[in-house]
Amino acid sequence: MELTPLPGDFALTKIGGVTGRFVAAGQALVGDAAPVQHAFVYVGNGEIVQAMPGGAELIRLEDASEPVVWSTGHFELTAWERTHITTAAHGLVGTPYSFLDYASIALAHFRIRPRWVRDYVADTGHLICSQLVDEVYLRAGVHLFDDGRLPGDVTPGDLWKLLHPKRVTSTDRDLWRLASE
């Protein structure tokens, strides 16, 4: 059975080439390696909004990278939230891309956060794909992350983890028990 996304859902995809390898390496470096390197938001009418090196764009879903997973069914979104997510996504079309945001997110992982770096990421005048997803959800009042991170400190791997939370194994419990003794 093929999944039909709803307006406001996001997808995670693989991307090839040098850019895909760069993103995958960066995600691995900060410990959130995932089988995806790109994210976009479905805005209805067979269209998506995605952040790309040339700027955020509105394209046909059929012209996008093949989704690995959709957020459909993972979040209980109201009709109001879905409308606001899609409106926010449309409003970000044309927003410039910033490869420097990857460096900033890596610095955050290593707990290096000079104020100018925090300010740079917080400035939504530029976005990478996963930041675009996080930003449109925030603009609709939906907080995807409740772990204290700054808005914009999100990679496709972070979104992957939302949809595929780590299962706690008996080995994990044993390690936690030993660490607390």
Residue 169, domain member (yes or no): yes
| Averaged pLDDT, 129-154 | 91
Write the CATH number for 86.
3.90.1720
67 HSE (CA, 13 A, CB side): 21
Task: Render pLDDT for 131-140 as a digit per residue (tens, 0 to 9).
Answer: 999 999 999 9
Flag whether 161 is in a domain: yes
- The average pLDDT across 141-153 equals 87
What is the spatial distance between Cα 37 and Cα 130, in angstroms, rounded to a whole number? 9
- What is the tens place of the pLDDT at every residue in 99-130? 777 677 777 777 777 777 777 776 668 898 99
Please give the structure tokens belonging to residue 10.
């996001």
Q: Name the residue range of residue 145's domain.
A: 10-180
Q: Cβ–Cβ contacts within 10 Å for residue 75, how many?
A: 15
Range of lowest pLDDT (3-7, 143-147, 158-162, 163-167): 163-167
Average model confidence (pLDDT) across the chain: 83
Instruction: Tell me the pLDDT tens digit for each residue of 5-18.
Output: 999 999 999 988 88
Q: Pick the residue with more confidence: 120 or 168?
A: 120
Tens of pLDDT, residues 52-100: 989 999 999 999 999 999 999 899 999 999 999 999 999 999 999 877 7
Query: Residue 81 burial (CB < 10 Å; 0-12/13-18/19+)?
Result: middle
Q: How many domains does the chain have?
A: 1
| pLDDT of 29 strictly over 90 | no
Asked if residue 26 lies in contact with residue 151, where contact means CB atoms within 8 angstroms, the answer is no
pLDDT attached to residue 124: 62
pLDDT above 80 for 178 = no
Q: Is residue 5 part of a domain?
A: no
Distance (Å, whole) CA 150 – CA 136: 15
- Measured CA to CA in angstroms, residue 28 lies from 37, 106, 134 at distances of 11, 10, 20
Answer yes or no: is 3 within a domain.
Answer: no
Integer Cα distance of 143 and 95 in angstroms: 21
- In the structure, what pLDDT confidence band is assigned to residue 47 with cuts at 50, 70 and 90? very high
